[in-house]
Amino acid sequence: MMRILLVLFIFSSSLLQGQLLDSVALQVAPVHTSLKDALKEPDKVVRLHLKKLKLDSIPPEVFSLPNLQELDVSRNRITYLSPDIAKLKNLQVLNISSNKLEKLPHEIGELGNLKKLFANRNNIISLPPTIGELSQLRLLDLWSNDIGHFPEEMSKLTSLRKLDLRNIVINEENRKLLKEMLPNTKIYLDPDCKCGN
């Protein structure tokens, strides 16, 4: 009980100062599941989950939430990720899984505090070179996409600890390249298909 009170105190103090929450405080921070309710007190919104709402895009009002640190818009119909995503400077966790995205905007690289990016089960065919600017990124979940090329700038992801590329056809040459670019990252791959791509 005392630990929960301490975490809530840290959460409240951090919001007042506009600081990033640590992973424990972020996990216990309140989750807003209604944009309408979140917009009533936008400065207090740290976690916003808009899952399974049949959204075609992220509502533009989301980009005006100054303290947003976790955004989950998974299981929608999003086909386009706005460059305005870069306005979410405090974002630490972004879940865009199970949508219809074919690419990520170049502005994704401006999310300097992003630690976890879940983009699995989309139709992503390539990653922007700016992905390498995500210096704090620890987890990149891309499984079940159509990615055929991985930019060499990924080698700058020195904080990356887990990269999930299962259910993506990747030839042996690209597998080797990924392992060379990311020597300290656990890379999850399906068995080699010997398909010569």
Residue-wise pLDDT for 47-73, tens only, equals 999 999 999 999 999 999 999 999 999
pLDDT exceeds cutoff 90 at 46: yes
109 vs 91: CA distance, rounded Å: 12
pLDDT per residue over 69-115, tens digit each?
A: 999 999 999 999 999 999 999 999 999 999 999 999 999 999 999 99
Structure tokens given for 17: 């100062």
Residue 111: other Cβ atoms inside 10 A = 23
> pTM for the full model?
0.89
H or E element: which one contains 17?
Answer: helix 2-17
Question: How many angstroms separate the Cα of 120 from the Cα of each of 25, 89, 111, 165, 174?
Answer: 25, 22, 19, 9, 19
pLDDT value at 184 more than 80: yes
Percentage of the chain lying above the pLDDT 90 cut: 85
Strand pairing report for 116-118 and 162-164 = unpaired
Strand order in the sheet with 93-95: 31-32, 47-49, 70-72, 93-95, 116-118, 139-141, 162-164, 186-188
Instruction: Report which of residues 193 and 25 the model is more confident about.
Output: 25
pLDDT at 33: 98
Contacts of 28 (CB under 8 A, 6+ apart): 4, 7, 8, 11
Continuous segment of H or E residues that includes residue 189 = none
Q: Collapse the DSSP code of 69 into the 3-class scheme (helix H, G, I; strand E, B; otherwise coil) and give the result.
A: coil
Q: Which among 7, 17, 68, 70 has a CA at the least distance from the CA of 41?
A: 68
CATH code: domain 32-188 is: 3.80.10.10
What is the predicted pLDDT for the residue at 1? Answer: 53
CB atoms under 10 Å from CB of 55, counted, come to: 16
The torsion angles phi and psi of 48, rounded to 5 degrees, stand at -130, 120
End-to-end CA distance of the chain: 55
Cα–Cα distance between 149 and 131 in angstroms, integer?
13
Mean pLDDT computed over every residue of the chain = 91
**Average pLDDT of span 180-188:** 97
Q: Which residue has the higher pLDDT, 149 or 4?
A: 149
Per-residue pLDDT at 192: 72
The per-residue pLDDT for 13 is 47
Domain boundaries, the chain: 32-188
The percent of residues above 70 in pLDDT, for the chain, comes to: 88
Q: Report CA Rg, the chain.
A: 18
* pLDDT above 80 for 195: no
- pLDDT score of 197 more than 50: no
